[in-house]
Amino acid sequence: MKEQKFSTAIRSNMDLILKEQISLSEKIDYTQVATFIPYIYSADRLFLTAAGRSGLALKAAAMRLMHFGLKVFVVGEITTPAIGPGDLLIVASGSGTTASILTTAEKGIKAGATVLAFSTTLAAPLAKLASHTIILPAAQKEDHGKSISVQYAGSLFEQGLWLLTDAIFQTMWEEKPVPAEELWKRHANLE
């Protein structure tokens, strides 16, 4: 009996999440997002970082960019080299105030890298540090008013970040169509 109740609730919540993502998609300024691709193409190397679930979304983006043949590093991994001029640091923070992300952005700038940010607002310190900020008009993790999203914490931002970076990758792949079999050769094979 409980399984049926859960089944119905899960389906309802999946529909809710998808509706919120469609609504978010309709509010994104895709002209602003499109500038992301030239930044990627002009960078010597890409470094990505975010905290928590946003960090997981950017790790997924790092994997796709690596599949595309770019030099990609996840900040904090033991094999990540020093960042410098010509490099692009891609950071995400819904609030734009996450201390560790701000510190990383400051260090990247000091080392001569360009910083590109994903956030929910241009008013945050992160947007002021970044050369360019892509806005995902989603609820921040501490926005409990449910006026933007009824999901918990920053879920809408984190999901949107994952989907948007996948859409950026898909766009790059369509522009420079490398056969999937070639991309797959770069996929991890020690699993």
List the chain domain ranges.
Answer: 1-185
DSSP letter at 120 equals S
Give the catalytic positions in this structure.
158
CATH for the stretch 1-185: 3.40.50.10490
pTM of the model: 0.90
C-alpha dist (Å) from residue 71 to 64, 68, 181: 11, 9, 19
| The pLDDT of residue 4 | 82
| Averaged pLDDT for residues 2-30 | 90
Query: pLDDT-based confidence at 28, cuts 50/70/90?
Result: very high
| Averaged pLDDT for residues 33-43 | 94
